[in-house]
Chains A and B, each alone.
Chain A
Amino acid sequence: MSLKFRGVDFIGFDALLTDDELLVRDTSRKFIEDNLIPIIEECNRAGRFPRELVKPMADLGFFGASLKGYGCAGMSNVEYGLVMQEMERGDSGVRSFVSVQSALVMYPIYAFGSDEQKQTWLPALQSGEKLGCFGLTEPDFGSNPGGMRTRARKVGKEYVLNGEKMWITSGSIANVAVIWAKVEDEDNKIRGFLVETDRPGFKAEDIHGKWSLRASVTSGLSMQDVHIPESNLLPKSGGLKSPLMCLNQARYGIAWGALGAAMSCYDCALQYSILRKQFHDKPIASHQLVQEKLTWMINEITKAQLLVLQVGRLKDKDKAGAQHISMAKRNNVWMALECARKSRDILGANGVADEYPLMRHMMNLESVKTYEGTHDIHTLIIGQSVTGIDAF
């Protein structure tokens, strides 16, 4: 039995959104309902990325939606966030793919790239004709990317790249990788490079056996003496700050996305609890312990909505700090994971099967809690912000 999503709005949240924002959300919702929901459980079982959705998503303008020009829609941050919410209401893996394409590939080219790089890549990435991935994390450097071992060496008019990247979303399906490496001739400063994935020495191998984000591709990248022209350096990138700026974009989208996953879980559990009868033919929604769980969820979802909306409004005014985005990501992913667990509880054994989306969301959210700055790392970013003392 599948339960159709009905949206979640406890305190008239929709009244805080403009007509355009509502239209963006409803259009995205309908697209996901029509195109992703019918196939997502099959994709998740098979560990298959629904590549057939790339073109339709591109046609609607989902890639690089918040960038201006190059065929991009020029959405506000709140509008972009609502798209992410609806995507992840479908599936965190598919949302991750869109986040990477938009915030981690198109954004750095947009922010740090040359005009030529922008002209070459942005329209192709927007239209889904080309796909991208983002190589920052390494096997030995996750929370501490500054320790990375990947190196770029200038040889004549080329750079030669060597190193390993790990946990790279879309790695093996990407046409271009945004690779972060320390430049030996520049005092080991971290800079970004565009590496076409068909260059000799570049290899991407998928990570198998994932219990999470099964509908997206996750790979390890290896680069052995990969030669790229010097024009592939992202000229305006410089220092760890550059990749962190990209992560800020992505983390912001994740904060909205997690909200979508939470809504999916809550709405499913709510509908189920009214239909499911136990003890004297009464719906389990009439039981106090079930009501407590539902109340907890709607309470946290409502707070999370307000939090991320305010961060979005700040971001639209260019006033959102990293600490604000950290709070939204940290809080919303945590609360979404809790919602997945509580919803699964309410559905009992039914919650374990993939007839319902709960276990899928729960397992996906374990990754979402970990990537783009773990929950704990965001704790330290907020701690640093309020105390002024760095605890890393």
Chain B
Amino acid sequence: MKILVCMKQVPQKDAPLKLNESGTWIREDVSYEVNEPDAYALEEALRQKEKHGGEVVVITSGPARSQQVLREALAKGADRAIHLEDNAFVGLDALNTARAFAAAVKEEQFDLIFTGLQSDDYGYAQTGVVLAELLGWPHATIIMHIEKNDAGIRVKRELEAGFFQFVDMPLPAVLTIQSGINKLRYATLIGIKQAKNKPLRKVAMADVQSALSTNLQKIERLYVPQKTKQTQFLEGPAAEIAKKLVDKLRNEVRVL
């Protein structure tokens, strides 16, 4: 099976975040890491390849720093990588990111495309689904398990309240992978050395520009929730205070 894994570099979960000047995103000077669900998507792809043979290709978009995500994936065992390298990719919405990916891999024939369920920063959970639509492929989300069969694949989806759904799908297909479905491997030191010799194709903004349009979605303002604490003293006879208190709990705090 030939599998493409879409990966994203996101700010480290534990990193203290500072907003940028315009208050629309965070400042660049934080530590970055692989988006967690994408790491599980990669792991699943590597396991599928180990079972059925084939090739695992990883793709990301973003500035030079985001190449680290691809290097790590190559060190873990991916065969080659595609980097859509430009600062401008950071600000793309899910539709345009999916368009850019589709344009960058239009010469390739994949059996499966994996994405993480969602990104830890924007959290849209849309890119994979939109990509499937653009390619005209079926898709399934929140995947817990993948089994190859003669007709295609059978996947297990996580629903709410402890329910699961099994879906039979033809190939090619797009799957968005849930975190925690497998045990992540570490890059080995030898793997890191070997990654240097694996192919990494760079795609410039200009190469995919014609497929893109203006963002339909944008972040207007980002802010840290204000912590406020107010103390009010209710005065008067006990019965009246009780009445006021009930009113506040019901209508202001809304806990009753």
Q: Which residues of A contact B (CB under 8 A)?
A: 4, 6-7, 19-20, 22-24, 27, 30-31, 59-62, 65, 71, 73-75, 79, 83
CB-nearest residue of chain B relative to A75?
A: B189
On whether the beta carbons of B193 and A74 are closer than 8 Å, the reply is yes
B227 to chain A, nearest CB (A): 16
* 28 A–B contacts from the bound complex (CB under 8 Å): A7-B31, A19-B71, A20-B192, A20-B193, A20-B196, A22-B68, A23-B68, A23-B72, A23-B187, A23-B192, A24-B189, A27-B75, A30-B186, A31-B186, A59-B188, A60-B186, A60-B188, A60-B189, A61-B188, A61-B189, A62-B189, A73-B188, A73-B189, A73-B192, A74-B193, A75-B189, A75-B193, A83-B189
Instruction: Give me the 3 closest cross-chain CB pairs, A-B, nearest first.
Output: A61-B189, A73-B189, A73-B190
Give the residues in chain A near B189, CB-CB below 8 Å.
Answer: 24, 27, 60-62, 65, 73, 75, 79, 83
* B192 and A27 contact, CB distance less than 8 A: yes
Q: Shortest distance in angstroms between B253's beta carbon and chain A's nearest beta carbon?
A: 26
Roughly how many angstroms separate A20 CA and B188 CA in the complex, as a whole number? Answer: 12
**Which residues of A have CB within 8 Å of B75?**
23, 27
B71 engages A23 (CB within 8 Å): yes
| A27 touching B67, Cβ below 8 Å | no
Residue of B71, B72, B193 with most chain A CB atoms under a 10 A cut-off: B193
Query: What residues on A are CB-neighbors of B235 within 8 Å?
Result: none
- Please tell me the number of chain B residues within 8 Å of chain A, measured between CB atoms: 15
A79 to chain B, nearest CB (A): 8
Query: How many whole Å from A294's CB to the nearest CB in chain B?
Result: 17
A28 to B188, CA, bound (A): 9
CA distance A181 to B75 in the complex (A): 43
Chain A residue contacts of B71, Cβ below 8 A: 19-20, 23
0 or 1 for each of B161-202: is its CB under 8 Å from A? (1 = yes): 000000000000000000000000011111011001000000
Q: How far does the alpha carbon of A30 sit from the alpha carbon of B192 in the complex, in Å?
A: 15
Q: Collect the chain B residues with CB atoms within 8 Å of residue A83's CB.
A: 189
With most chain B CB atoms within 10 A of its CB, the pick from A22, A73, A83 is: A73
Using Cβ atoms and an 8 Å threshold, which residues of chain B touch A6? 14
Tell me if B187 and A19 are in contact (CB < 8 A). Answer: no
